[in-house]
Copies of this chain bind each other. A is one copy, B any other.
Amino acid sequence: MRLLRVLSLTFAVCLTTAFADEGMWLFNSPPTAQLKQKYNFEPTPQWLEHLQKASVRFNSGGSGSFISANGLVITNHHVGLDTLQKISNEQHNYVRDGFYAKSQKDEVKSTDLELNVLMSIEDVTDRIKAAVQSGTSPEEANKARRNVIAQIEKESREKTGLRSDVVTLYQGGVYNLYRYKRYDDVRLVFAPEQQTAFYGGDPDNFEYPRYDLDICIFRAYENGQPAKPEHYLKWNTKGPADGELTFVSGHPGKTDRQLAVSELARLRDDEMPYLMNMYNRREVVLGAWSARSFENARRAREDLFGVQNNRKRYGGYLGALLDPEIWRSIEQREQKLRDAMNSSTEWKPALAAYDRIRQADEATAKVLPVYNYYEQFRGRADASYRAPRGFYSRLFEYARRLVRAGDERPKPNGERFPEFRDSYRESLELELFSSEPIYDDYEIVKLTDSLTDLVTRFGTADPLVQKAMAGKSPVDRATELVSGTKLKDLAFRKQLYEGGAAAVSAAKDPMLELARLVDGPAREARSVFDAQDETKQQAYGEIARARFALEGTSSYPDATFTLRLSYGVVRGYEENGQQIPPLTNLAGLYQRGAQHNYQPPFDIPKRWLDRKTKLNLNTPFDFVSDADIIGGNSGSPVVNKANEFVGIIFDGNIQSLVLDCIFTDKQARAVSVDSAAISEALRKVYDAGALADEIEGRK
């Protein structure tokens, strides 16, 4: 048995997927055969539609689901955190203290949260491919594709009124038009204290066993009234059993499972060390600043959490790529496909695509330092939003967005950068007109660190650096920019956005002037990057097509922060010679607290200490399954065969970080909160019986 498991790690890709619960499947191409063969379970179209339409995407980067007829949506606390942070102020600390709205009128409106529900999927591959004539240059192909995509999105939006996104699947092998119902009036109903949601803090993050109630409940509104979703999940108060088959419906962010070895080598050798350097630096800077006062800590909390989370995530991923055993499986995966291509008259010429990928990466590498610092800065409206790598300041983000909006919006829709297309307009404005508070001192801390990185990365003699720094030290320049800009003022931002390029130029605002100053070089690097990316996209498309032809259509595409179905069994694993059981219970929380003398981050909130005797301590708390998940799946509902909500994904263990590039079920596990713990806690800890009644359908 041990031997088989080892084999399944090393040669997972060489075996049929029937042996492993692998795959992030499309709802329009579900793993029916695998489920039937291995579990004798066949999801019906109705079963799939119900789960699809009960699933919710959070534009802040996560997943969730409808859980009541009156629009209740459950997600993770760490997905809702962005909103909790934004609606908090010095009077109300929703992050630290949690929240419960006893009645609908008490529900707190979020500032810029957008939820999307996938309503339909349409294949538009042929139309997009037809728009790109063979023999065109990569730049022209990119432009043609951007144009036709913009056109398709616009038409769909005008016809249906739904948010319409063309989604690229199989690295360009397939294009699907996804139509989403949008909800932008979303109100906070319930959140536990962050200490309960994130019990064990960074030390326990990505670890198991866990004792976290990582949930947050919102209510979607339409026209000022609670939404009445057609589909919502029925609640199961018991949670799943050890060994039970479960399903996960959510939005895995990004996997690299089709990546060429040459590109993975670049990730391992350059990109990840770069990111680890950045995250380590920010963790230290934000951590040190947070330690100076409570208020500092509150202001930086969400960013620091994101940084620590990413540091662990990329650290785990890098660790896996540096494992020669895993690297060999990656090489074997590619070799297997290369061998098959080589044996095929039709696909042998496509082998050259691997060389084009390598060459494109080499060409990109030349502009990468500039691209990373000055341009790696796509909008928050973009699902793949990450904190910027350079000019780490919300105020610079506003400046960049306003300068670019002024230049891009007058262009024809299809020629704009994607983040300024009409289809993103509402999201862009939501971001730009956020009422989120801005703190000068915090902006200065982040920007000082970024400017130090700028100067040391490019050198004090670099002409662009000299212009950007204006003869000042990093701290003096950051202070000058943050103190001097008026972009903190929402009305001012609106005025500039409406006034366009002329208003932006006339503003004489130091942050806008900085954004303008670096705009040319940033665009230049982006144009090289995008052209090479286009080349790679085509090359990967060719490989993907070869793969379809040679390996059949039973495979699933890489994750793209669009809705996917995964499945897996609740089961433990072995670690350092110990068997880790799959379920924890509420008693375990109190034990872990006692072991750590209740010191942060292992302190237990007073409410939980007070209510301990009322609780059934045998209630399951968290559980693991071997479902194939990744970042973005946070908040995904876990359902049983009856399509009942039995849990909510909130983490993967550290061994699961390798899932980014290769599947393994040896130790990798998805970690969920058990529905039983949620019911028990709402009723007995938070006096939220009415809310529990609503989600349990007792109302």
**Count, chain A residues at interface, CB 8 A:** 46
Complex interface residues of chain A between 513 and 529 (CB less than 8 A to chain B):
none
Contact A322 B473 (CB under 8 A): yes
Closest Cβ of chain B to A273, distance in Å, is 4
Task: Report the copy number of this chain in the oligomer.
Answer: 2
Using CB atoms, name the residue of chain B closest to A277.
Answer: B277
Binds B, one of A2-10, A281-289, A562-570: A281-289
Contact A318 B288 (CB under 8 A): no
Binds B, one of A70-78, A415-423, A451-459: A451-459
* Bound CA–CA A276/B456 (angstroms): 11
Chain B residues with CB below 8 A from A268, complex form: 456, 460
Contact B311 A452 (CB under 8 A): no
Contact B456 A318 (CB under 8 A): yes
Given contacts A279-B284, A284-B311, 13 further A-B contacts (CB under 8 A): A203-B288, A203-B291, A269-B456, A269-B460, A273-B456, A276-B281, A277-B280, A318-B452, A319-B452, A322-B456, A322-B474, A323-B473, A323-B476
* Bound CA–CA A292/B327 (angstroms): 29
Complex interface residues of chain A between 314 and 360 (CB less than 8 A to chain B):
318-319, 322-325, 327
Contact B311 A269 (CB under 8 A): no
* Bound CA–CA A288/B309 (angstroms): 12
For A284, give its contact among B283, B325, B455, B476 (CB under 8 Å): B283
Using CB atoms, name the residue of chain B closest to A474.
Answer: B322
Complex interface residues of chain A between 266 and 312 (CB less than 8 A to chain B):
268-269, 272-273, 276-277, 279-281, 283-284, 287-288, 291-294, 311-312
Chain B residues with CB below 8 A from A280, complex form: 277, 280-281, 283-284
Interface membership of A102, Cβ < 8 A: no
Contact B203 A319 (CB under 8 A): no
Contact A459 B203 (CB under 8 A): no
Centre residue among A294, A319, A322, A476 by max chain B CB count within 10 A:
A322
Using CB atoms, name the residue of chain B closest to A272.
Answer: B456
**Please, could you name 21 A-B residue pairs with CB atoms under 8 Å apart, sorted by A?**
A202-B288, A203-B288, A203-B291, A203-B292, A268-B460, A269-B456, A269-B459, A269-B460, A272-B456, A277-B281, A287-B287, A288-B312, A293-B596, A318-B452, A318-B456, A322-B474, A323-B473, A324-B471, A324-B472, A325-B473, A600-B600
Q: Mark A172-213, 1 if CB is under 8 A from B, else 0.
A: 000000000000000000000000000001110000000000
Contact A319 B288 (CB under 8 A): no
Chain B residues with CB below 8 A from A276, complex form: 281
Closest Cβ of chain B to A54, distance in Å, is 37
Interface membership of A597, Cβ < 8 A: yes
Using CB atoms, name the residue of chain B closest to A453.
Answer: B273
Contact B322 A596 (CB under 8 A): no
Using CB atoms, name the residue of chain B closest to A282.
Answer: B280
Interface membership of A601, Cβ < 8 A: yes
Interface membership of A682, Cβ < 8 A: no
A-B pairs, 8 with minimum CB distance: A323-B473, A203-B291, A280-B280, A273-B456, A280-B284, A203-B292, A280-B281, A283-B284
